[in-house]
Chains A and B, each alone.
Chain A
């Protein structure tokens, strides 16, 4: 199976390089759909709002083992650039259900979101944990579903740890990047965020806090509790130039 798979991959790579223009043309797409499924393609109703889902682990420098569901940095960043440049796209909705992931990749996505000129709204569904927190607050306006959770906890150091004070300083610096970004891009104060991050007695395996739905709004981390309708309404309002 694995040998066959590898051969297929090579064949396929050669073919797609030959035929990019044909694949993109709507006529060939229609013919292909008719041949394959005996149905016509849906009339294209182009949306002026784009949706980006960030799910599972956020994958950066390190390719995670395949049992992890990941959102890849190299998929997201070019899409954000394309969305910023495409005149047909007026706004972006970011739907988050992430357990965290690579610090550099997460902060990169958050910085890209925060510096986009087009309106962005984030919606935390299920969970927006760890490095998902800066991504959620990176959007211009953020929503959290009533049942959604966000875990705020300190960064861990794994692998070879040298027992010198510099190790702690390094870790503290990495953590400071996250804290500073979140504080600058949301209503929460440094003291409040650090208090949530270092609180003991709340998490079973770690120190930190889980905030659920309106608790995130009370901490001024997220702007509002809401769902799809509220998030899209807000995005449309921002697109029209409202605040």
Chain B
């Protein structure tokens, strides 16, 4: 049961312009990545609740990394 201000038709709208994200471990942290090609992927989001992790440039969104 959803309790939200967003109308149902927006939540369940069909859209094909959506990336395939996956969660991987990188530098000991969980990151959400989007594959660029077979070997590399781009960081989309850092999944951490330690604020200092967000200061690490290697973990910042947009970085292209080798698939760990």
Highest count of chain A CB atoms <10 Å: which of B12, B13, B28: B28
Determine the distance from Cα of A12 to Cα of B63 in the docked complex, in whole angstroms: 18
Whether, in the assembled complex, A165 has its beta carbon less than 8 Å from a beta carbon of chain B, the answer is no
Tell me the B2-32 residues at the A interface (CB within 8 Å).
Answer: 2-8, 11-15, 18-22, 24-28
Knowing A33-B58, A39-B57, A57-B11, the reply to whether A104 touches B22 (Cβ < 8 A) is: no
In this complex, how many residues of chain A approach chain B with their Cβ under 8 Å: the count is 62
Knowing A50-B50, A57-B11, A100-B5, the reply to whether A36 touches B68 (Cβ < 8 A) is: no
Counting chain B residues whose Cβ lies within 8 A of the other chain, the interface size class is 35 or more
Set of chain A residues within 8 Å of B11, measured between Cβ atoms: 57, 64-65, 68
Determine the distance from Cα of A19 to Cα of B20 in the docked complex, in whole angstroms: 24
Cβ proximity bits B35-63 to A, threshold 8 Å, 1 near / 0 not? 10010010000010111100111100001
Q: Which residues of A approach B to under 8 Å, CB–CB?
A: 1-2, 4-5, 8-9, 11-12, 15-16, 20, 23-26, 29, 32-33, 36-37, 39, 41-42, 44-47, 49-52, 57, 62, 64-68, 75, 79, 83, 92, 99-104, 106, 129-131, 151, 153, 155-158, 174, 178, 205-206
Q: Which 6 A-B pairs have the closest CB atoms?
A: A100-B4, A66-B18, A29-B27, A131-B3, A5-B20, A67-B15
8 extra interface residue pairs, beta carbon distance < 8 Å, beyond A37-B58, A101-B3, A157-B1:
A8-B38, A36-B58, A68-B11, A99-B6, A102-B2, A131-B4, A156-B2, A206-B5
